[in-house]
Amino acid sequence: MTISSKRVPQEFLDKIKAAVNIIEVIGEHVVLKKSGSNHSGLCPFHSERTPSFSVSENKQLYHCYGCKKSGDLFRFVMDLHGIGFREAIEELADRARLPLPKGWDRSDEQGGDAETQKRREEARDKLATAHKLNRFAAAFYHQHLSLAPEAQKYLERRGCTPELLRNFYVGAAPAAWDGLALKLTASKAPLPLAVELGLIRPSQKTGAQAGSGYFDLFRNRVMFPILDLRGKVVGFGGRALAGNSPGEGDQGPKYLNSSDSFLFQKSKLAFGLYQAQKHIREKNEIILVEGYFDVLALHAAGFEHAVATCGTALTPDHLQLFRKFASRIVLLFDGDKAGIAATERAMILGMEHGVILHGAVMPEGLDPDEILFDQSTGQPTPEGGSRMKAILAEAKPVLDSRIEQAIQHAALSPEHRAQSVKQIGAWLALYQDPVGREVRLQVAEKGLGVPRHLLEKGLEKRAPVGKPGGTPTPVVKQQPQSSPAPRIRPAPKPATTTPSTPSKGPKRPSKGETRLLKGIALGGEYGRLFTEAGSNLPPGTALADLFEYLPAKGFLLQLYRDTALQPGYTAALPALLQQAQDPQLRSILTEALVHSSAGDLPPGEPSKQVGEEGLPGNPAEHDFRTALDRAVERAWARFSQQIKAQIAEAEASKDAELQAKLMKEYLDVQRKMKEFSSFYEEA
């Protein structure tokens, strides 16, 4: 039996938390200072000058008051590296040197016969060995750099400092045919797997000339290890050094990348993203360039949120990956014809997938590396940094730049104007945001001086979203809502309701709901008050129905199923927090837990612990009672409306007996609601 990510044993998660301190993990990315019972520092998820990021070592939770990011150890690793729950578990288990539970399976498939499970186990072993092989090769290249004066001089001319080379683990491949192959053979490494990873290839030579029987794919090159988001080497890019001659299996291209494999898929990877991710989050921006040296140059000049694709054009997978880290993507491609064409292709791909890409205009014939560093000495150019800063500051949506150019093109002749009308219409046909499309239609209509209907013709011929090689964007169709069948009595809502039940609901919790959630998270007297409110609810109404915000409703249902809100129920909160998908809900609960003084508040003494105004994140008792009573009153108001609707139905059907019965119940409900109103007037 294999373990699904949805059913990871809580005991195993607790073992990881016991072995790995959240302060140590976060402290590797944030400078934390002791602040009372907690630690504080600058948030790693957004840019700030004053620390608003708080970590509770006692509760093993974190919360940021600025961006509202919050969670536990697993959530931090997930958000920091942009990985899933299973990957976070594997990384932390590896850190804690804990074996994964029996039946753990990366594919998340369950069941299977003995042969199937054996294949899965072999696949896991193969993956682990592949990572070791790539790490071995990266160390080999990095160490060889100290023995390669030609590569050292070349890197120095490109402005690469020793610190930069260490940070990116840059190396050099020897010119010998089988330098790495011999090293792998001597280390008894699995050579067939090294072939599959694109490190070496079988030699066609025989006899004494065969050597190890393999030759290196990368020879006489500067080597760039390509890392995944967890810092593991998954592939390489190599830049040919001067004098590199074509040979067996190597035709000597200027840049050579690892071939795609089960470990390396260049359409889903970006060079420098591992090193840049912290800076990207701080700026909420990614600079996308074309070359590895452009990335190094920008990082060296202080633009540490730059990345590059790995020898491939921008793909839908890249867009999905980048949007996990930043909302703004700036293309900084070369200013030549190829760079301009690549920018336009990226623009179209972005619009097909709902992403508006920004473009920074480079001087024609120059790349970022040439602006920032003198190519003969490797020294920073006098105005390079300020010049690059100005170029990036002027970046604007590529679509807007292209529309401006098309309008200028239209002024040349009537034929050019017709071309521009068609071109702008084709671009806007791909634009998924109706408001943004309308604004740009108005700009184009005014700039071209043509009737609007000519531009809208292009929209009518809208190309299907997703071209060959792209991933179609799913279109969510809104289903017509049908009216529920009339019923005589309000039926109790089923206890099996889940937060995934389709419903509109509010987009965020109200202030009252936020107060209730924080109090529930604290437990103690607040938990008792909330539980007792259940006896004051209308028939068929559950405590979870006090919330209109669906994630909160789902959370309460699950909490009640697990604990029945019995004393000490707060012990179940950490596990529920791990399952919470809604960031707003998670932030509210974590904020309360991080700043609660010592777990559950003593019954009957919340005001002594919390104070008249309440500690940060903890609702004062008066506010909590008020929010709770008003939520109960709203429940009775909804119940009253249901009865009122049934009275109208009974009147329409001329059922006098039912009408009289419902009217009596309606008056009883009104008296109940009046009690709540009197309470508020007295308060």
Do 331 and 234 belong to one domain? no
Instruction: Please count the structural domains in the chain.
Output: 5
With a cut of 70, say whether residue 569 has pLDDT above it. Answer: yes
Position 649 pLDDT exceeds 50: yes
Digit-coded pLDDT (tens) for 366-404: 889 899 998 888 899 989 999 999 999 999 999 999 999
pLDDT grade, residue 221 (50/70/90)?
Answer: very high
- Structural domain span for residue 641: 511-682
Rounded to 10 degrees, the C-alpha dihedral 279/284/288/291 comes to 0
Asked if residue 221 and residue 135 are part of one domain, the reply reads: yes
pLDDT value, residue 6: 53
pLDDT at residue 35 above 70?
Answer: yes
Question: Which pLDDT score, from 0 to 100, does residue 296 have?
Answer: 96
The CATH number for 156's domain is 3.90.980.10
Together in a domain, 75 and 130: no
Under the banding of pLDDT at 50, 70 and 90, the label for residue 571 is confident
Average pLDDT of span 574-600: 75
439-477 b/e with 16+ CB inside 10 Å = b? Answer: ebbeebbebbebeeebbeebeeeeeebeeeeeeeeeeee
Are 317 and 175 in a shared domain? Answer: no
110 or 541, greater pLDDT: 541
**CATH code for the domain of 53:** 3.90.580.10
Same-domain pairing of 257 and 277:
no
Indicate the residue among 109, 142, 162 that finishes a domain: 109
State whether 634 and 536 are in the same domain. Answer: yes
Does residue 140 belong to any structural domain of this protein?
A: yes
Identify the CA nearest to 221 among candidates 188, 244, 250: 244
Evaluate whether 334 touches 366 at the Cβ level (below 8 Å): yes
Please state the rounded mean pLDDT for residues 174-197.
94
Asked which of 231, 248, 264 is the last residue of a domain, the reply is 264
Q: Please tell me whether residues 260 and 276 are part of one structural domain.
A: no
Spatial CA neighbour of 445 closest among 436, 434, 435, 456:
456
Lowest mean pLDDT among 70-79, 241-250, 258-267, 347-356: 241-250
Going by pLDDT thresholds of 50, 70 and 90, the confidence category of residue 211 is low
Q: Are residues 349 and 295 in the same domain?
A: yes
pLDDT tens digits along 132-152:
999 999 999 999 999 999 999
pTM: 0.64
pLDDT band of residue 530 (cuts 50, 70, 90) is confident
- Least confident interval from 24-28, 289-293, 665-669: 665-669
pLDDT class for 86, splitting at 50, 70, 90?
confident
Residue with the bigger pLDDT between 317 and 524: it is: 317
Label residue 261 exposed, middle or buried (CB < 10 Å: 0-12, 13-18, 19+). middle
Helix (H, G, I), strand (E, B) or coil at 104: strand
Instruction: Write the pLDDT tens digit of every residue in 425-442.
Output: 999 988 888 888 889 999
In terms of domains, do 300 and 346 share one? yes
**How high is the pLDDT of residue 180?**
96
Task: Tell whether the model's pLDDT for residue 501 goes beyond 70.
Answer: no
Amino acid at 114: A
- Can you tell me the mean pLDDT for 265-278? 93
Percent of the chain with pLDDT over 90: 37
So what's the pLDDT on residue 222? 97
Q: Is residue 465 part of a domain?
A: no
pLDDT tens readout for residues 605-624: 333 343 333 434 444 677 88
Question: Has residue 468 got a pLDDT over 50?
Answer: no
Co-location of 291 and 260 in the same domain: no
Domain for residue 434, yes or no?
Answer: yes
Task: Specify if 489 maps to a domain.
Answer: no
Length of the chain: 683
Q: Are residues 251 and 281 in the same domain?
A: no
Judge whether 486 lies within some domain.
no
pLDDT higher than threshold 90 for residue 632: no
Q: Select from 421, 436, 460 the last residue of a domain.
A: 460
Tell me whether residue 488 is in a domain.
Answer: no
461, pLDDT greater than 60: no
Comparing CA positions, the residue from 515, 547, 595, 494 lying closest to residue 555 is 547
Find the helix or strand (DSSP H, E) in which 200 lies: strand 200-202
CATH number at residue 274: 3.40.1360.10
145 plus 202 within the same structural domain: yes
Q: What share of the chain is helix, strand, coil (3-state, %, to 5)?
A: 50, 10, 40
Q: Is 423 contained in some domain? A: yes
Does residue 477 lie within any of the structural domains? no
